[in-house]
Structure 1
């Protein structure tokens, strides 16, 4: 394609070709954000493409987005596998040559590295990477963490601009030397506020799960992977079950830790109290069935589920990591607890279940000030960034 612009001519009036690249389309915040962005970008200004690995709950949706050129990348997978990664690199370069984008916009760790490297090799004029949290952390083996950071620093030199979904992620990345502050824009994760603010039938969910109408329900929505620390939710359930004999605990999601969580549930005798619901598309209904929503993550980008809970008017208790503190104001629209402190989380959840008026007050407060988390705001901010960067590129 050449570094001159991939067929791009003229100034800002040109219809920009934007290719989004993400590792997998599982049910998750980064994946949902990517699909919402690709779906809602103005087709009068942009021609859209999407490249991703095979599989995932959202893959059929991604493959059938209207007015979007779709590129399956068979060897693009989350795990580090040198041979597959090399093949994925070649597949991504082929997709980029076929689409001839003005902008490549990458999401997630693996696609962020391979996608940016591929775009740079193909001479794409503008390369953007969205930081939805980081793919490494203190819980990882040091050599693995060092390798991830080295890869991120390498491809950062090829990156025109970064998007951070939270200020905490921006500050962390700058402190780690992963990107310079002047090349980062904060654009928050956006949700469909109408979908989560409208009344949904929570009672039907309770009936479906054989939960009594008056039983307290504690809900967590998260992938079963180390980042989300779902084993902490199982421990939380074990701490609360003896003191709240009527309570039920719902864990929505799935993933690599499923078997471990099932063993823990059996160990603590929670088979009748703790429900693993798998991936669900009816999160608004589940939120309406819940009294409290929790989040036990080790690290985060900007956790959409907490925004969704606020929008639905449900009180939240979350561990104070990264972008969580930008969604939850302690004692105002929910409670924050120290990272990893399941005992304190159990105390706060018990307090809310014992004081429904307090839970309602926090839930009502959570409905305020959500405009910055709307999907419309997220997409508009990304459109503005694309046009700004292209204008700078062509000197207009």
Structure 2
């Protein structure tokens, strides 16, 4: 059983791991809310899907209903292994798995919501919850060094019930090069020598688009023949579309939610991600796999991927002039862009999907019967 708050999470990150278990002869189930779509993608690979009406907000009353329905499911079915993800679903799922006598429970922390620099509210809510849920967790999987250290402090034992895995994996072949049938630059009326800066991220407060756009407005005042591509969806997208128009921030293109991210990255010169927090961002890994230099906020997860000055640059949160400076440096120096891109692609080999599948196979083998 794969359990998460929403099916969008399972469809985006976990299909290869479901298929790994299917290839070994296991029947795979999934449970989540389909409010945001993509449930059909999970069903399409032969996974038995259950509808559990979780809400991402830990304060939502919908989670009481989800708790009851998941409890009924666990009383009716016993699973040999349950792999939980995302804060709300993982907390409720771990408790119910223990009280209903399920098989072992693995929990992947895609970035603890308590971390260095997090709000007091996050620490007061999520840290005690994770300490409590640790007693219902047979194995914890983390994907960055800060979370690994936090897990050790909570009593997890490396190699026993604590495992470091290199994220959710990147299919390196998809980002190796070549061009698709769509020429995005041509459609947008850009020249082949224009410098394209791209951010692929959900439009939310966490991804910090306001910071990026403030820096961009200063950057374009000093440069020409540059464009910013914003790819992604999210509840704040309409707000930022209006902001760009009202403040007349030039050379910004909102790409409609696009599944052809490899093509977007092939036509990109510089990738930027200035999130306020991360676990281990796949968009950053994909940009590095495509051989692009990156500029990222100096936060957990980003720090694990970006070697400052070798594969890209790390900028402090809300250091607008620092971000502008790194963008200017990369925009005017093609050789630097190419050198950083090559180094990034070399580093991201450790995060390839094949390697991560092997890491997860080893973890699953510890807990699955026979």
Mark yes or no: TM-score above 0.5: yes
Give the equivalent residue in structure 2 for 1:331.
309
Deviation at 1:80, TM superposition (A): 2.8
**Could you list the per-position Cα deviations for residues 222-259 of structure 1 after superposition, in whole angstroms to 9, with x for gaps in the alignment?**
11122221222212221211112321101111223224
Change (3 A) 1:138 1:324: closer
Give SS of 1:241's match.
Answer: helix
Aligned pair count reads 368
How far is the alpha carbon of 1:170 from its aligned partner?
1.2
Residues 155, 194 of structure 1: CA spacing in aligned structure 2 closer, same or farther, 3 A cutoff?
same
Tell whether the 8 Å contact from 1:23 to 1:53 is kept in structure 2 after alignment: yes
Q: Work out the CA distance in 2 between the residues paired with 1:57 and 1:373.
A: 27
Q: Which moved more, 1:323-332 or 1:91-100?
A: 91-100
Aligned to 2:6: 24
Q: Is the 8 A contact 1:202 1:286 kept in 2?
A: no
Query: Deviation digits for residues 43-84 of structure 1, max 9, x if unmatched?
Result: 324321111111335333123222x211121x2121234531
- Following TM superposition, by how much is the alpha carbon of 1:162 offset from its aligned partner in structure 2, in angstroms? 0.4
1:370 aligned residue (333, 348, 357): 348
Match of 2:126 in 1: 148
Cα deviation for residue 309 of structure 1 reads 1.0
What is the rounded CA distance, in whole Å, between the counterparts of 2:346 and 2:121 in structure 1? 44
Q: 3-state DSSP class of the match of 2:29?
A: strand
**Cα deviation 1:142-201 (Å, max 9, x = unaligned):** 3454122222222111101100012232124445x4856553101112011111113224
The residue aligned with 1:43 is 23
In structure 1, the partner of 2:34 is 54
1:162 to 140, 155, 164: 140
> Which residue in the other structure is 1:89 paired with?
67
Distance 1:137 1:322, change over 3 A: closer
**d(CA) in 2 for partners of 1:100, 1:146:** 33
Structure 2 residues not aligned, in runs of 5+:
none
**Which residue of the other structure, out of 84, 87, 93, is the alignment partner of 1:115?**
93
CA distance in 2, matches of 1:248, 1:59: 35
Change (3 A) 1:172 1:230: farther
Given that residues 20 and 105 in structure 1 are in contact (C-alpha distance below 8 angstroms), is that contact kept between their aligned partners in structure 2?
Answer: yes
1:132 maps onto 2:114 in alignment: no
Structure 1 unaligned residues grouped into runs of 5+:
1-18
Q: 1:54–1:76: 8 Å Cα contact kept in structure 2?
A: no
Residue 277 of structure 2 corresponds to residue 299 of structure 1: yes
2:230 paired residue among 245, 251, 254: 251
C-alpha displacement at 1:338, in angstroms? 2.2
Q: Give the Cα–Cα distance (whole angstroms) in 2 for the partners of residues 60 and 243 of structure 1.
A: 47
**Residues 196-207 of structure 1: matches in 2 within 5 Å?**
196-201=175-180, 204-207=183-186
- State the alpha-carbon separation in 1 of the partners of residues 188 and 27 from structure 2: 44
CA contact 1:218–1:294 (8 Å) conserved in 2 = yes
Aligned partner (choices 39, 50, 56) of residue 71 of structure 1: 50
Instruction: Name the TM-score, length of structure 1 as normaliser.
Output: 0.85
